[in-house]
Structure 1
Amino acid sequence: MSFAFKSIDHVQLAAPKGSEKIARRFFGEILGLQEIEKPENLRKRGGVWFSFASYQVHIGIEDPFAPAKKAHPAFEIQNLEALKIHLTKNEVSFIVDTDLPGANRIYVHDPFGNRIEILEWI
């Protein structure tokens, strides 16, 4: 083939109209992702973008809105136990899942109902 996939540039999750403040609290303040500026020509669409390492998470506005219940991004983390304590302190519930051999993982739902997998390989 004359082409090759290099990496994932970003993951997009949907949110309801007017929910940028809630997204900033969850993804920015609680999860600790860095907000990044959207290009000028895309700002009118609403939403908010975040980054960590060399990855981006875009929260896009969808109207009418429906959360992703099964489809989800999976983020690898260092020190999952510390994150679980942090989430508990911030009243964010999570589900522990032990079905993936060699990984500790949890599922959380963002404030809009989108499923997010967070795992640590052991």
Structure 2
Amino acid sequence: MTFTFAGIDHVQLAAPEGCEVEARDFFGSLLGWQELPKPEPLRARGGVWFQCGTHQVHIGVEKNFTPAAKAHPAFLVHDLQALREHLIQLGAHVIDDNARSEENIRRFYMNDPFGNRLEFMEWL
């Protein structure tokens, strides 16, 4: 083979039409991710993009939206406990999961405002 995979450029999460304000509140204000300008040809489609570490998360509008309840991105975090405490202090609902604690992985889940499952994890 002459090709190789370099990794993931971005993850796209679907959301309903008119999601932009809630997306900015959740991903921008609550999680603290920086909003990225969308390229001009894509702006009319709606949605909003964010920077998460070295990756991007794109919130894209889907007409007949159904949240992803099982399939999910997992975000690698340094000091997961501090993020958990921050989210709880701001009233967010987190779901602890210790199913991988024997592998020295700490993690929790939560849903974005649209019902998409998100995992946050830290290798210990």
Structure 1 gaps, min length 5: none
Aligned residue type for 1:26: F
Trace 1:1-122 onto structure 2 (pairs within 5 A).
1-100=1-100, 101-122=103-124
Secondary structure of the residue that 1:45 maps to in structure 2?
A: coil
Instruction: Quote how far apart the aligned CAs of 1:53 are.
Output: 2.5
Letter in 2 for 1:117: E
**Hey, what's the Cα distance between the residues in 1 that align with 2:116 and 2:23?**
12
**CA–CA separation in structure 1 for the residues paired with 2:97 and 2:88:** 16
Where has structure 1 moved over 2 Å in runs of 4 or more?
none
TM-score, length basis structure 1: 0.97
SS in 2 for 1:14: strand
Deviation at 1:91, TM superposition (A): 1.1
- In the aligned structure 2, how far is the partner of 1:53 from the partner of 1:59? 16
Query: Does the residue aligned with 1:118 lie in a helix, a strand or coil?
Result: strand
Percent identity of equivalent pairs:
55
1:78 and 1:54 map into 2 onto residues whose CA distance is 13
Q: How many residues align?
A: 122
Post-superposition shift, 1:21? Answer: 0.3
Gaps of 5+ in 2: none
| Partner Cα separation in structure 2 for residue 118 and residue 53 of structure 1 | 13
- Normalising by the residue count of structure 2, what TM-score does the alignment of the two structures yield? 0.96
